[in-house]
Amino acid sequence: MLEHAINSLPGDLRDAVAARLRQRVLSQCNQAFTDSKAIGAENNSRAYRHVEGMGEMKASIPATAYHYWGQREGYDVWQDKKFMKKYREDNPDVKVNTVSDKTQVGYTGNGFYRVGAGRTIKVYK
């Protein structure tokens, strides 16, 4: 529809409108890039905590990117784990640092507890 309207314009005006539209798209891309860098710097400067019942915050998505991909692929794409993994890989600035509130002391994950330099014991219950 927009293409038909642009093509129906006289030559000089059509070229001017097309150039202005290209300039606007490039401006929006530059603004989105700048926003993502600013959000990335903010994400890396503070730590986020786990929220009980909501889980861990993994990314902070800029509004421009959210709506771009929502309009292009459908807003349910943000619920897709594969898409989110790929998006975080392609856009490392959106990743956030999370910190756990839970403290685990003395457990190495293999069932042994450290009791001194180089010594471990196995506790059976």
Domain ranges of the chain: 2-122
Mean pLDDT score, 52-60: 75
Q: Is-contact 57 84, C-beta < 8 A?
A: no
Q: Considering the chain, what percentage of its residues have pLDDT values greater than 90?
A: 10
- For the entire predicted model, the pTM comes to 0.55
Please give the mean pLDDT across all residues of the chain.
78
What tens digit of pLDDT does each residue of 70-90 get?
988 999 999 999 999 998 898
Instruction: Give the number of C-alpha atoms closer than 13 A to the C-alpha of residue 60, restricted to the C-beta side.
Output: 17
Only one residue has tokens 């400067």, namely 45
Tell the burial category of 62 from Cβ atoms under 10 Å away from its Cβ (0-12, 13-18, 19+): buried
- Find out whether 35 and 64 touch, Cβ atoms under 8 Å: yes
